[in-house]
Amino acid sequence: MVTPQLFSGQGVVYSVATMAIESDLDLMLRVRDGDAASFEILLRRYRLPLVSFFCRMVRDQGLAEDLAQEVFLRVYTSRERYQPEARFTTWLYRIATNLALNAIRDRKDTVSDNADHDSEGGPVMERFVDPHPSVEQRILKAERERAIRQAVEALPQNQRTAVILHKYQEVDYRQIAGILNVSESAVKSLLFRAYEALRVRLEPLLREGQI
Amino acid sequence: MKCLEKDQLISYAYGLTDESAAREVRAHLGECSHCRATVEQYGRLDSLLDEWKAAEPTPEFDVRVRQAVDVRNTGRAAWAFWNWGWARGLALAGLAVMIASGAVWFSRGHRRISTFARIAARPFHSAGAAPRPARAAILHAAAPAASTGVRLAPHTSGPSAATASRSDDNDVQALEDYDMAANFDVLSEIPKGDSRIVY
């Protein structure tokens, strides 16, 4: 069993080389056996992908971090029951996807009420703006980003989830089938329709890019 | 030349197809400018979608995760302690002692109220009774103070030795009775708290 002191002290020693070499599966098996350092490596490895995933799914940084934290907590608490049959990321994103969909369902009204918050240049958007471009460039960039985000958000929920997993999290479509618990052909069909819908919606921006 | 289905082109553009199918599409694109333009458009869409950036975790994120794990570990440790048989037995025994102590304390409080209620039920304390007579008035009362409930011997005008002696005895008894009733410290018998006695 992992002792709390190991986490409290943050005295876990790990190296970049270790993070690169150790597979998720090996790390998770060691976490199951009580190795706090392995959990720390998994935390470092997946903190950014998970927070990014939740940010795109729920569009609220605070909630995104809360949900990502919950994923790590669930991974930790269910470590003794972990069975290395499926890939670790499939398991991880299945937990994450379920949490995100539940959060979207619970916060549906709130999200629609705040829909214009960051489209007006709120805190989430501003964090990524290049500190040096002109005001005009900033406005154009923000407008493009808003258009893309709205196009993705306009997709049906299952298509949106599939696109975010496939395009932004770089999860293979076979894995997405495992995460969403549907067939591979169903995932392909979701992605076909989603990318085609995005191409149609974002055609003005695509034409701009050609000029 | 017949163009490929859009699904085939999307599959090729986004890597949703196996290698043999990808080879076929590549061969077709070498000859079909329309399909090539479509694939290029999906390529531009892919680049465009990259412009949607997501936030990075705040510096506090890792700390919060560790704290959450700490809290979970603490909870599990407490539960593990409970699962030890002797610890559970000890806790239950302590609880039983506390309940028993409370029951004893509660019953003692009720007994005090009952004692007081018996004293208070005497006619001396009954509602509408005459004011308590002075000690000297009892000794020299011309008639028994029936209204006070105190036994007093009838006062005689021509005392013989025997009647004088009996009268003295009665007076002493009456005085003792009076003292018992009058000097009874009522307030000391009222239990603390909200218990109220209505006369």
Q: B174-195, pLDDT tens digit by residue?
A: 666 666 655 554 444 445 555 4
pTM greater than 0.80: no
Distance CA B49, CA B42 (A): 10
Alpha-carbon distances, residue B11 vs A58, B40, B100 (angstroms): 28, 13, 76
Q: Do B65 and A55 touch (CB under 8 A)?
A: no
B121: CB partners within 8 A, 6+ apart? none
Q: Do A206 and B41 touch (CB under 8 A)?
A: yes
The closest of A157, A155, A161 to A175, measured between CA atoms, is A161
pLDDT score, position B130: 52
Residue A186 Cα to chain centre, angstroms:
21
pLDDT at A209 exceeding the cut of 90:
no
φ, ψ of residue B198 to 5 degrees: the values are -105, 125
The closest of A127, A107, A106 to A51, measured between CA atoms, is A127
Residue A103 Cα to chain centre, angstroms:
14
A149: CB partners within 8 A, 6+ apart? A59, B52
pLDDT at A1 exceeding the cut of 50:
no
Residues A42-71 have a mean pLDDT of 94
Instruction: Compare CB distances from A198 to B45, B56, B64 and report the shortest one's residue.
Output: B45
| Least confident residue range of A35-44, A59-68, A191-200, B79-88 | B79-88
pLDDT score, position A121: 39
Residues in B closer than 8 angstroms to A7, CB to CB, are 66-67, 69-70, 73
The closest of B56, B49, B41 to A144, measured between CA atoms, is B49
B18 touches chain A (CB under 8 A): no
**A8 or B21: which leads in pLDDT:** B21
pLDDT score, position B183: 54
- The DSSP H or E segment spanning B98 is helix B85-120
Distance CA B34, CA B167 (A): 139
Q: Do A10 and B66 touch (CB under 8 A)?
A: yes
CB atoms within 10 A of CB A56: 25
Yes or no: say if B159 and B167 are a contact pair by the CB < 8 Å rule: yes
Residue type for B194, please? D
- CA dihedral sign, ordered B93, B96, B102, B107: negative
Residues in A closer than 8 angstroms to B58, CB to CB, are 61, 65
Distance CA A184, CA A178 (A): 8
Q: What integer best gives the mean pLDDT of chain B?
A: 72
pLDDT at A187 exceeding the cut of 90:
yes
pLDDT score, position A5: 38
Residue A20 Cα to chain centre, angstroms:
20
Mutate: best of B47, B56, B69, partner A, most A CBs <10 A? B69
Number of residues assigned to chain A: 211
Asked if the interface predicted TM-score (ipTM) of this complex is over 0.90, the answer is: no
